[in-house]
Structure 1
Amino acid sequence: MKIVSDKMPKVDVASILTAEEIAAINEFVHHYPHARAASLDSLKIVQKRNGWVDDAQVNAIANILDIPMTDMDGVATFFNRIYRQPVGRHVILICDSVACFLTGYEALSTELRSQLGIEYGQTTADGRFTLLPICCLGNCDKGPAVLIDEDTYGPVQPDEVAQLLELYA
């Protein structure tokens, strides 16, 4: 379990974030009456560069927004599409909701894990894919569904997995 302090160590933000990220975060701040409202947008801006957000980056964002590190860490860990550790070039989210479970989730999950050679939360050895479950993709009428990066697919049958993975070289 990670212990996060409310005390926000001041950091040289420019040594952690790019000038473009800082400018983009500051732009979002001006859209809201309170800087803290730009928390999620700020995390997305930073994640776009590396695919995930590390502790130093979360702290730098907290410094820019002038909010406690614990608040920023709370936002970063609450949202399941903000990644707090390295992920593959392509993130595969497989919906494990009741609707997808009833329409073939188990067979699809087995095939994905077999084809990728990994379990949930793992990344392929070549760094190409990370596989994660998600509680709902909002694609219930097309289950079982997967989201790869920003592309939603469904219904996906186990015999379509190899062809689907080839789209993401």
Structure 2
Amino acid sequence: MLNINEDDLKNAIVEKTADELLRHDEDLSAMVSKEVQRRIEKIFVDRADAQIAAAVDAAVQKGFDVEYQRVNNWGQPEGEKTTIRAQLDKLIGGYWTTKVDLRTGKPGDSYNSTTRAEYLMTQICAEDFSEEMKKHATNIAGHLKDGLRGQLASVMDNMLNDLFRVKSLQDQGKVTKPY
């Protein structure tokens, strides 16, 4: 009985095949080399892009949290130290809580004022309500017109029947009514 190691046999076959292919076909070697190089470059580009994006994100985040202090025209410090993030929070928060006139939406602190957020929500809701009311009013006017047309036709038929005792083609159903 022969004692053959199956893994050694597989490895030998793979090595022999690879040697034969590379020995007989130099183009194959060049193609494999190019493909390996292309894949290495792609991996490098992907990883480099990811690291660059992470570095930019970190720099931006850090930039928002760096403290600074305003200075006047002569370079003298003015006011408290702050960060860009704190200034943006104050600016954005202040925008929505600023008191505005109920009619115009312009900033002003009067008896008829509300916050900008409440004013904008009121405007949006009013526009939606107005559009819905227009649709319903149009539908009601259409139904009213159709109802009046039908009622007028009925009244006119009764008046014509009272006035003329003759059965017309329309009365007999041989011709359609224009209304």
Task: Name the TM tier (shorter chain).
Answer: under 0.3
Say which structure is richer in helix: 2
Q: Which has the larger radius of gyration?
A: 2
Q: TM-score, normalised by structure 2?
A: 0.16
Say which structure is richer in strand: 1
Q: TM-score, normalised by structure 1?
A: 0.17
Q: Which one scores higher on RCO, CA 8 angstroms, separation ≥ 6?
A: 1
